[in-house]
Amino acid sequence: MKHVATIALMIFLAPAALCAGSLRCTLPPEVAEAHLLSAGTPAMTEHFRAVYESGLATMSTELRIDGLDAQVKKAQDVLEKRNQAYADTLASIRKKHLSSLSITLEAIESSISPSSSALGDVTFFYTARNSTDRIITDITYTPRVGGKPLPTTTSLVLEFIHPETLISGVGPGETMTNRGHDPERFSFFISELTREEIGALKTDATQQFGIEIIDMHFADQKGYKGQVEVQDFLSAFSRRLKPLQHAIDQAEADMEARKNAHAKALAAFTEGKEQLDGRLKASLAELKKNSIRCSVRPDKKNRFVFDSVPAGTYYLYAPDGRGGAVFEEVAVSGHGRQEIAAGMKKDPFVP
């Protein structure tokens, strides 16, 4: 009876021994262990990833991520256009009114002594004619010599205060002058002018000197300084700008609502994605565990040798622990030992 059992066992094992092979692999030095996986492993990893991508696509569609993102961009475009319309209108108002006040300069005199002082002085008389429909209380200006701005010690403001009545403001169609009274005066830095510019200002100030109006202020009525409300362009033209500002406010509110909806959808998408990530990670880990047919560690010569491996097709898998792995199809036959050298690629079991 013992002999029968031995013969039966030999008959059962013989085909496996006859169909077994050997595989010797040369792998990157960072690999600590290598495995032979079932031939169907890549198909399963692709299946799990396809399920994952399908889940993401479905979730994105249900949450309308792309549509909400497009709505945010559209709302931003609308807001930009309305801001530009406001800016263009304000710029047009400024340009029209700044150019509708003419300033004629007279009796211009300069005092320049580079050897004794770093500053020069200019005095002048003016006549201002207001062609706007507003009362102008003052202007801010930049002095120029030969078209070049003069570097001054402070911002220069010319206040329209009648020299006799002391009433502030020059009205629409009116003219104001300081002739016969104290001239306007300001100081400037000499060091930033060339010798030629200094000479021209000394000898021909009337032709070389001029001013550029860069800002102005308004009032609804004339009065003594400090007793009238001085308005800038935004205040003076608030009625004209109000509809444009209202349109901007509406666009800002709409964009904020769109952003909030998009952010809420993204938060839900992120939460759902984390769940899908967890499922994918668990599925790949379970697949890897169940797909391993044999494992080896390197020998003293840092070679990975698989002996007595049943003939067939496998996938050689050797992770480096940093997201990379050897993952190559290998065919094991019963005809001697095969030599394999493989390099790294992305670990198929890392989500």
pLDDT at residue 10 greater than cutoff 60: no
Task: Please state, in angstroms and rounded to a whole number, the distance separating the CA atoms of residues 178 and 124.
Answer: 9
Amino acid making up residue 268: A
pLDDT at residue 200 greater than cutoff 80: no
Average pLDDT over residues 204-212: 81
107 within a domain of the structure (yes/no): yes
256 within a domain of the structure (yes/no): no
Task: Give the SS3 label for residue 1.
Answer: coil
What is the per-residue pLDDT for 335? 67
Residue with tokens 């030629």: 196
What is the per-residue pLDDT for 114? 61
Average pLDDT over residues 291-316: 92
CA-to-CA dists, residue 264 to 29, 71, 76, 254, angstroms: 47, 14, 18, 15
pLDDT at residue 252 greater than cutoff 70: yes
Helices and strands, counts by H and E, the chain? 7, 18
Task: Please state, in angstroms and rounded to a whole number, the distance separating the CA atoms of residues 276 and 274.
Answer: 5
Dihedral sign, Cα of residue 37, residue 38, residue 43, residue 44: negative
Q: Which two tokens stand for residue 326?
A: 């050897």
Q: How much is the mean pLDDT over the chain? A: 89
Residue spans of alpha helices (H) in 204-314:
205-208, 233-236, 238-291
117 within a domain of the structure (yes/no): yes
255 within a domain of the structure (yes/no): no
Overall domain count for the chain: 1
The model's confidence at residue 21, banded by pLDDT at 50, 70 and 90, is: confident
Q: Which two tokens stand for residue 298?
A: 């390197």
180 within a domain of the structure (yes/no): yes
Give percent of the chain with pLDDT exceeding 70. Answer: 92
Task: Please state, in angstroms and rounded to a whole number, the distance separating the CA atoms of residues 242 and 245.
Answer: 5
Residue 215 β-bridge partners: 140
Task: Please state, in angstroms and rounded to a whole number, the distance separating the CA atoms of residues 105 and 184.
Answer: 10
DSSP string, 311-326: SEEEEEEEE-SSSEEE
What is the per-residue pLDDT for 147? 77
332 within a domain of the structure (yes/no): no
The residue range of the domain holding 173 is 100-236
Q: Which residues contact 221 (CB under 8 A, 6 or more apart)?
A: 135, 169, 228
**Residue 105: CATH number of its domain:** 2.60.40
CB 185 within 8 A of CB 192: no
Residue 45 buriedness (CB in 10 A; 0-12 / 13-18 / 19+): buried
pLDDT at residue 63 greater than cutoff 90: yes
CB 25 within 8 A of CB 34: yes
113 within a domain of the structure (yes/no): yes
298 within a domain of the structure (yes/no): no
Task: Give the SS3 label for residue 163.
Answer: coil
pLDDT at residue 116 greater than cutoff 80: no
